[in-house]
C-alpha cells in the first residue's frame, strides 16, 4: 500500500540516481495537457505548474494536494458559517399576480393561464412548484384546500389540491380535477385576474426555515460534528449517546488510514493559524521558544482534564476544542462586521464580558504562533490529542529508507515537529501531510502501510539523545497527569457550585432546548445558533449564571422576538442541546411564559390606552393575548360610565409559547422610544410550569393536552 501524493523534489535522471517514472495520473496529464506545464527531469527545468507552486510557498510546492484540501476545507467552513447560516436574505413568499385564464377545458378540468402582467421572476418561481392556491381577485375567493372547501385561515402550508400540470414561458396549465364541481363552475366563469401562491391564506410562515433548507446542501455544523472531542465529551457529560457520535466515529476511522489527517488536512482552525503564522508570526522572531520544552505534551494533559470534568458532568471541551474555538472566534469578531455592513450597525447587539473573554481566547490561540509556528496544533490542542491517541491504531505511517543523506530539509519543513533528529517519525505527532516527502532530494521518504517494510535507514543515526522515560521524564509525566486530574475535578466542583447558586433565575432558552441541567452538559458553546438566528434574539450569556453557562444561548426579548417562521437554532446545533424541530413542532414549543406587570402596564394601571402587545401576538398567529375591559367607572345608579376605563391585555397561558414578540414591542415603543416606562410591562420568564423542556416527544400534542385542561 502506497499513499504518496506529495510532489517529489525535482531530480535529474543521470546515472546513479534511481529513475522515477511518471505515475499514471502524470502520464495521462502529459498526454492531454501542454508540455510546458510539466518539469523536464533530463534538463532539470521546472515546469510552469511547479514554478507557480514554488511562488505560492515551499509547502505548496512540496504537498500541493494537502494545501489544496486545506484551502477547500477553510473555504467550505466559511461558506457554511457566513452564507448558509446567514438568514437575512429570506423573505416571505409573495403571491404571483396578473394571471389571466385564457383557455378552460371543463371536461378535463384544466385551465391554461397567461402571465399578462405577472412579474417574470414570480412566473419562474411558480413554475417550479407542484401545487398552487388560486385567488380570484374579483371575488376575493381562494381555491385549493384539499378538503374541497374554500381555503381559509387554517389552510396548511402548500397542501393544495390544484396541481401545476405544465409550465412554459409566460404560460401555466393547472389541473383542477381535485376541486369540487361548484368550485370548478365558479372558476370557469371567472375572467380573472388570478393570484397564484404556493401557500394558502393564513398558512404559517416558513420563509426562514425554507431558506435554511435550500442552502444547507451540507450540514451547516459539519465541521463541529467531525471534531471528535465535541461528541465524546458531550456524550460523557450528558450520559447520553448524542447523534454526532456517528460522525466522530467516521472521522476517527478515516484517520486510522491517514493518521491525524483531520489536523493536517481538514481543520479550519489549523489553516487559519497557518495564515496568521505566514502574515504575522514569521515577522516576529523574538518570542520563539525551543521545540523540546515542558509544553510539548500539554494537549494530552488538557484532554485528560476535559474528560475528567465530563465524567463529573461538566462540559469544558467547548472552551478548548478546535472547531468551537474558531466558530466562536469568528462569531464575535467577523460576524458583527457582516451584520453591521449588511443591516446597519444598530442591528449589532451589545457586547458583554463573555464576548471579551472569547475574543481574547481566540486571539491567544493565534498569538501562540509567535512562540513557534502552529504552536497550538503541535502542543496544546486537545482535539489533536484525540487523534494522537488514535494513532496507536494507525494503518499507515511515514518511513525513511537507507538512501537518506541527512540533509535536514524534512525537519525544517515539518509543521508538526513530527520528525526526530535521526529523521525517523514521532508517530503520535505525524499528520501524513507529506511536506517532508516533497522536499527530500533523494526521494527517501515514503508513506505506506504500517506493515509494509522497505530498506529502512539505521535508527539513531545521527544520535537523537532521546532515551526511554527516565527519572525526570517520569516526574514530569506524574506532575502533568496529577495536575490534569486535579484540574478536571476542581473545575467541575467549582462550576457545579456556581451553577447551583445561580439557578434561582433561569434564563429563557431557545425553543426545543432539553432540560436545563442536561442543556448545560450538552451545549458546546459553539455559537452556531446565534449565527442562524435571523433576529438576534439568541445572544450569548456572560458570567451572570456562572462559568458553566458562559456563552450558552439565551432569549433576549428586549432586543427581538423569536421569528415564527424560523427553526434554525435547532437545525444547526451539533449536539442536540437544542432539538432539530420541524416548523410544525417548533411553533408549539414553549420556551417561557409572558407575565404582565399589573402596576406598570399602561391600561392596567389606568394611565392610557395601549394595545401593542395584543397586536403583535395576533399578527404572529399565536393569539395568546386578548382584550378585557378594566377600570370602568360606575355612576350613582351602578351603571358603567361611557368612555371610562381601558381595553387591557389579558394572557391566555395555554396559548403562549414565550416567543417574546410582545416584550420586544413594548420595550421598543414604551421604553426605548416614548420613555414612558423604565422596563417592558410584559416580560418572558422561564421556570417550572412556564416552559416545555423535553428530550423527545411532540410539543404539538403537549400543547393540545394543555389546552384541553
Residue 1: band (very low, low, confident or very high) from pLDDT cuts 50, 70, 90: low
pLDDT band of residue 499 (cuts 50, 70, 90) is: low
The sign one gets for the Cα dihedral 425, 426, 431, 435 is negative
Give the other-Cβ count within 10 Å of 468's Cβ: 6
Domain of residue 659: give its range: 557-708
Contact between 26 and 39 under an 8 Å Cβ cutoff? The reply is: no
Determine, yes or no, domain membership for 513.
no
Q: Exposed/middle/buried for 346, CB within 10 Å: 0-12, 13-18, 19+?
A: exposed
Alpha helices in 5-85 (DSSP H): 24-32, 48-56, 58-62, 64-79
- Could you give the number of structural domains in the chain? 2
Assigned C-alpha cell, 238: 450528558
What is residue 125's predicted lDDT score, i.e. its pLDDT? 65
The confidence score (pLDDT) of residue 184 equals: 82
Fill in the DSSP letter of residue 297. Answer: G
CA atoms within 13 A on the CB side of 646: 14
* Band of pLDDT at residue 528, cut at 50, 70 and 90: very high
pLDDT beyond 90 at 674 = yes
- Give the number of other Cβ atoms within 10 Å of residue 619's Cβ: 12
Predicted pLDDT of residue 599: 92
pLDDT for position 134? 86
Q: Tell me if 450 is assigned to some domain.
A: no
In this predicted model, what pLDDT tens digit does every residue of 432-460 receive, in sequence order?
A: 999 999 999 888 999 988 887 767 888 87
Inside any domain, residue 652: yes
pLDDT digits (tens, 9 = 90+) for 155-188: 344 466 788 887 777 788 888 888 888 888 888 8
Measured between alpha carbons, how far is 315 from 242 in angstroms, rounded to an integer? 14
Which three cell numbers mark 463?
544520535
Q: How far apart are CA 328 and CA 355, in angstroms?
A: 9
Question: Does 696 map to a domain?
Answer: yes
Q: Would you say 157 and 203 are in contact if contact means Cβ atoms under 8 Å apart?
A: yes
**Residue after which a domain boundary falls, among 204, 227, 247:** 204
Are 231 and 244 spatial neighbours (Cβ–Cβ below 8 Å)?
yes
pLDDT at 149: 38
Q: Which residues pair with 45 in a beta bridge?
A: 40
pLDDT at residue 124, rounded to an integer:
62
Rounded CA gap, 55 and 60, in Å? 9
Between CA 18 and CA 31 the distance in angstroms is: 24
Burial environment of residue 171 by CB neighbours within 10 A (0 to 12, 13 to 18, 19 or more):
middle
**What is the pTM for the complete model shown?**
0.86
- Name the residue among 648, 633, 664 with its Cα closest to residue 601: 648
Q: Which residue has the higher pLDDT, 342 or 45?
A: 342
693 inside domain: yes
Interatomic CA distance for residues 67 and 265, integer angstroms: 8
Please work out, in degrees rounded to the nearest 5, the angle formed at the alpha carbon of residue 100 by the alpha carbons of 96 and 101: 120
Of 171, 186, 204, the domain-final residue: 204
139, 190 Cβ separation under 8 angstroms = yes
Start-to-end CA span in the chain (Å): 68
Structural domain includes residue 433: no
Residue position matching grid coordinates 444561548: 553
% of residues, the chain, pLDDT over 70: 89
Nine-digit cell string for 316: 469544558
pLDDT for the residue numbered 501? 47
Beta strand segments in 263-411, E: 396-400
Query: What is the reported pLDDT for 281?
Result: 87
Burial readout 239-259 (b: 16 or more C-beta within 10 A, e: otherwise): ebebebbebbeebbeebbebb
As a whole number of angstroms, the distance between CA 142 and CA 196 comes to 9
Q: Is the pLDDT of residue 472 over 70?
A: no
Residues 6+ apart with CB under 8 A from 146: 159, 160, 161, 178
Q: Does 152 have pLDDT greater than 50?
A: no
Counted residue by residue, the chain has a size of: 709
Residue at 192 is within a domain: yes
pLDDT per position as a tens digit, 412-430: 999 999 999 889 999 999 9
pLDDT (mean) for 658-675: 95
Last residue of a domain, one of 204, 235, 266: 204
Amino acid at each position: 500500500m502506497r499513499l504518496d501524493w506529495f510532489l517529489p523534489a525535482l531530480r535529474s535522471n543521470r546515472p546513479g540516481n534511481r529513475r522515477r517514472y511518471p505515475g499514471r495520473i502524470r502520464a495521462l496529464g502529459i498526454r492531454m495537457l501542454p508540455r510546458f506545464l510539466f518539469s523536464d527531469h533530463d534538463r532539470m527545468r521546472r515546469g510552469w505548474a511547479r514554478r507557480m507552486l514554488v511562488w505560492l510557498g515551499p509547502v505548496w510546492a512540496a504537498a500541493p494536494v494537502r494545501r489544496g484540501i486545506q484551502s477547500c476545507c477553510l473555504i467550505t467552513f466559511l461558506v457554511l458559517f457566513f452564507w448558509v447560516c446567514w438568514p437575512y436574505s429570506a423573505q416571505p413568499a409573495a403571491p404571483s399576480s396578473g394571471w389571466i385564464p385564457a383557455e378552460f377545458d371543463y371536461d378535463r378540468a384544466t385551465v391554461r393561464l397567461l402571465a399578462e402582467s405577472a412579474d417574470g421572476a414570480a412566473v419562474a418561481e411558480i413554475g417550479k412548484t407542484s401545487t398552487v392556491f388560486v385567488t380570484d381577485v374579483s371575488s376575493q375567493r381562494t381555491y385549493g384546500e384539499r378538503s374541497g372547501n374554500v381555503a381559509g385561515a387554517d389552510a396548511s402550508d402548500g397542501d393544495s389540491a390544484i396541481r401545476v400540470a405544465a409550465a412554459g414561458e409566460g404560460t401555466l396549465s393547472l389541473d383542477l380535477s381535485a376541486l369540487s364541481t361548484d368550485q370548478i363552475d365558479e372558476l370557469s366563469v371567472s375572467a380573472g385576474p388570478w393570484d397564484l401562491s404556493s401557500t394558502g391564506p393564513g398558512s404559517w410562515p416558513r420563509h426562514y426555515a425554507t431558506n435554511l433548507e435550500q442552502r444547507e446542501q451540507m450540514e451547516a455544523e459539519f465541521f463541529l460534528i467531525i471534531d471528535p472531542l465535541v461528541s465524546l465529551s458531550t456524550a460523557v457529560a450528558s450520559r447520553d449517546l448524542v447523534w454526532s457520535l456517528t460522525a466522530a466515529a467516521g472521522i476517527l476511522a478515516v484517520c486510522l488510514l491517514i493518521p491525524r489527517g483531520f489536523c493536517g488536512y481538514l481543520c479550519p482552525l489549523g489553516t487559519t493559524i497557518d495564515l496568521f503564522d505566514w502574515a504575522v508570526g514569521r515577522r516576529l522572531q523574538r518570542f520563539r521558544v525551543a521545540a523540546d520544552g515542558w509544553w510539548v505534551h500539554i494537549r494530552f494533559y488538557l484532554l485528560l482534564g476535559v474528560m475528567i470534568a465530563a465524567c463529573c458532568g461538566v462540559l469544558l471541551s467547548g472552551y478548548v476544542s478546535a472547531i468551537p474555538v474558531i466558530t466562536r472566534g469568528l462569531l464575535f469578531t467577523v460576524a458583527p462586521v457582516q451584520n453591521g455592513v449588511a443591516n446597519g450597525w444598530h442591528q449589532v447587539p451589545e457586547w458583554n464580558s463573555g464576548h471579551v473573554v472569547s475574543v481574547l481566547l481566540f486571539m491567544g490561540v493565534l498569538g501562540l504562533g509567535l512562540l513557534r509556528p502552529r504552536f497550538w496544533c503541535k502542543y496544546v490542542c486537545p482535539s489533536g490529542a484525540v487523534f494522537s491517541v488514535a494513532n496507536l491504531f494507525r494503518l499507515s505511517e511515514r518511513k525513511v529508507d537507507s538512501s537518506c543523506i541527512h540533509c535536514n530539509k524534512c525537519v525544517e519543513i515539518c509543521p508538526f515537529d513530527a520528525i526526530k533528529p535521526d529523521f525517523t517519525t514521532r508517530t503520535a505527532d505525524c499528520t501524513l501531510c507529506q511536506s517532508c516527502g516533497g522536499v527530500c532530494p533523494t526521494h527517501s521518504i515514503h508513506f505506506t502501510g504500517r506493515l509494509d517494510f522497505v530498506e529502512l535507514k539505521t535508527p539513531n543515526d545521527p544520535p537523537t539523545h532521546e532515551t526511554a522515560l527516565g527519572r525526570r521524564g517520569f516526574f514530569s509525566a506524574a506532575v502533568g497527569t496529577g495536575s490534569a486530574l486535579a484540574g478536571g475535578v476542581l473545575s467541575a466542583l467549582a462550576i457545579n457550585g456556581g451553577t447551583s447558586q445561580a439557578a434561582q433565575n433561569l434564563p429563557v432558552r431557545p425553543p426545543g432546548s432539553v432540560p436545563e441541567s442536561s442543556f448545560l452538559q450538552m451545549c458546546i458553546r459553539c455559537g452556531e445558533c446565534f449565527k442562524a438566528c435571523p433576529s438576534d434574539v439568541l445572544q450569548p450569556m456572560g458570567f451572570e449564571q456562572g462559568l458553566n453557562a458562559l456563552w450558552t444561548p439565551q432569549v433576549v426579548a428586549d432586543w427581538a422576538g423569536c421569528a415564527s417562521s424560523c427553526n434554525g437554532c435547532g437545525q444547526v446545533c451539533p449536539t442536540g442541546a437544542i432539538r432539530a424541530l420541524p416548523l410544525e413542532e417548533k411553533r408549539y414549543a414553549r420556551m417561557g411564559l409572558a407575565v404582565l406587570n399589573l402596576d406598570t402596564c399602561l391600561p392596567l394601571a389606568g394611565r392610557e390606552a395601549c394595545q401593542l402587545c395584543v397586536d403583535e401576538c395576533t399578527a404572529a398567529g399565536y393569539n395568546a393575548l386578548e382584550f378585557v375591559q378594566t377600570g370602568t367607572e360606575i355612576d350613582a345608579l351602578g351603571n358603567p360610565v361611557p368612555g371610562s376605563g381601558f381595553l387591557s391585555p389579558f394572557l391566555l397561558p395555554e396559548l403562549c409559547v414565550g416567543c417574546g414578540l410582545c416584550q420586544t414591542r413594548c420595550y421598543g415603543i414604551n421604553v426605548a422610544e416614548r420613555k414612558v416606562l423604565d422596563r417592558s410591562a410584559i416580560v418572558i420568564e422561564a421556570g417550572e410550569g412556564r416552559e416545555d423542556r423535553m428530550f423527545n416527544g411532540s410539543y404539538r400534542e403537549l400543547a393540545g393536552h394543555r389546552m384541553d385542561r
